Amino acid sequence: GQNIDQPTEMTATEGAIVQINCTYQTSGFNGLFWYQQHAGEAPTFLSYNVLDGLEEKGRFSSFLSRSKGYSYLLLKELQMKDSASYLCALPGGAGSYQLTFGKGTKLSVIP
């Protein structure tokens, strides 16, 4: 089985940096996804990590440690539009589109 744990809510200030953590347990690791979901909208893909380390993509970076069952999403230079839920997800198998999602972390960016 798979289990994912994320903080429920976080608040950060515009212009700051925030780190959203995700810890997971899985019997077979096939990568880890991060999705962003604005209220009332579809989830959109942010990142996919399969190897340990940090991957940077503009203001967003994602980190993975397979040995620790741990990932984080780092958001820099926060903007008001970054207020959203951030979902950590594991695929069910290699090439599987069956994702197990965490409950999501609702990030509120305040002025």
Partner 1 sequence: ETGVTQSPTHLIKTRGQQVTLRCSSQSGHNTVSWYQQALGQGPQFIFQYYREEENGRGNFPPRFSGLQFPNYSSELNVNALELDDSALYLCASSFKGANTGELFFGEGSRLTVL
**Cα–Cα distance list, 31 to 9, 20, 43, 94, 105 (Å):** 24, 17, 18, 8, 19
Q: Evaluate whether 74 touches 62 at the Cβ level (below 8 Å).
A: yes
CB 33 within 8 A of CB 47: yes
Specify the residue, 13 or 44, whose C-beta has the smaller distance to partner 1: 44
Residues near partner 1 (CB under 8 A), total: 23
Near partner 1 by CB under 8 A: residue from 72, 82, 104, 109: 104
Binding mask 9-48 for partner 1 (x = CB under 8 A): ----------------------x-x-------xxxxx--x
Binding of residue 3 to partner 1 (CB under 8 A): no
Q: Does 92 bind partner 1 (CB under 8 A)?
A: yes
- Binding of partner 1 by 7 (CB under 8 A): no
| Residue 110 C-beta: closest distance to partner 1, Å | 21
Task: Give the span between the Cα atoms of 101 and 26, in whole angstroms.
Answer: 12
Name beta bridge partners: 100. 90
